[in-house]
């Protein structure tokens, strides 16, 4: 329920410049005495959060502290607030890191159910080259769920469909791209906006029936997000 933590300023002063050594010792001690008890208080933080925070204040560029510490708080301890704060602190020091961005996106999506923030960090992870196979489709689904589909939203799954070698993923990415583009274009046309695109992803002209623009072919909903953990 509790653990001994010293002020980071005091530790720095007593370390005589050996902050990396002290932070490594604290890190090893934390792992040795870590526990798997879920933290159920959603108004404060677990003892492990404070320990990871202490390490980050002593040695702010201790990368593993953020990556593994953040995942441990999220998955093992269920310290949702602590995991969010710790991963955000890590990204403040490693703003282009694909792994920190990806795991923060996972934490927002599955633990905090904050789908807008999840998509922000998933897009950052994808931009920086995270290899997670279904990341393009996840981003497309979150764009659709958040009602933030733009004229460019289809491009990510469309580009993924062109480079993907697995036929199943190639087809899935293309169907998602087709639906995103069609839904955006048809909404634009049917609300009488300007500069609307009248052709679908395959180059077919949308059909005008009884004053309403409709797709050339029916598409099944490939953009439904499974919100279960």
Cα gap 11→109, rounded to integer Å? 36
Residue 68 CB burial class (10 angstroms; 0-12, 13-18, ≥19): middle
Q: What is the dihedral of CA 108, 87, 92, 115, to 10 degrees?
A: 0
Give the three-class secondary structure for 47. Answer: helix
Cα gap 217→219, rounded to integer Å? 6
What sign for the dihedral angle of Cα 139, 140, 141, 147?
Answer: positive
Cα gap 42→21, rounded to integer Å? 33
Is 91 or 17 the better-scoring residue by pLDDT? 91
pTM: 0.83
Cα gap 198→189, rounded to integer Å? 8
Please write the tens of the pLDDT for every residue from 34-81: 888 888 887 889 989 998 998 998 889 999 999 999 999 999 999 999
Q: Which of 140, 147, 153 is nearest to 225 (CA)?
A: 140
Asked if residue 120 has pLDDT above 60, the reply is: yes
Is 168 or 41 the better-scoring residue by pLDDT? 168
Please write the tens of the pLDDT for every residue from 187-215: 999 999 999 999 999 999 999 999 999 99
Cα gap 203→160, rounded to integer Å? 19
pLDDT of residue 11: 55
Radius of gyration in angstroms for the set of CA atoms belonging to the chain, rounded to a whole number: 23
Residue 76 CB burial class (10 angstroms; 0-12, 13-18, ≥19): middle
Question: Per-residue pLDDT averaged across 145-149, rounded?
Answer: 91
Residue 161 CB burial class (10 angstroms; 0-12, 13-18, ≥19): buried
Look over the chain and give the mean of its residue pLDDT values, rounded to a whole number: 88
């Amino acid at each position: 329920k509790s653990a001994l933590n010293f002020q980071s300023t005091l530790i720095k002063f007593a370390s005589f410049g050996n902050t990396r050594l002290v932070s490594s010792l604290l890190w090893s001690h934390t792992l040795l005495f870590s526990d798997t008890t879920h933290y159920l208080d959603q108004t404060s933080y677990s003892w492990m959060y404070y320990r990871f925070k202490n390490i980050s204040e002593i040695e702010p560029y201790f990368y593993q502290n953020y990556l593994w510490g953040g995942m441990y708080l999220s998955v093992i301890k269920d310290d949702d607030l602590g995991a969010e704060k710790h991963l955000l602190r890590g990204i403040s020091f490693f703003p282009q890191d694909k792994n920190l961005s990806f795991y923060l996106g996972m934490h927002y999506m599955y633990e905090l159910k904050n789908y807008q923030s999840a998509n922000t960090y998933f897009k950052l992870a994808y931009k920086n080259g995270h290899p997670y196979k279904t990341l393009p489709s996840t981003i497309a689904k979150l764009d659709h769920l958040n009602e933030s589909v733009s004229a460019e939203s289809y491009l990510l799954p469309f580009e993924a469909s062109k480079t993907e070698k697995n036929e199943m993923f190639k087809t899935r990415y293309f169907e998602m791209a087709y639906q995103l583009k069609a839904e955006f274009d048809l909404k634009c046309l049917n609300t009488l906006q300007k500069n609307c695109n009248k052709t679908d992803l395959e180059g077919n002209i949308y059909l005008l029936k009884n004053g309403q623009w409709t797709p050339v072919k029916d598409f099944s909903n490939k953009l439904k997000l499974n919100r279960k953990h």
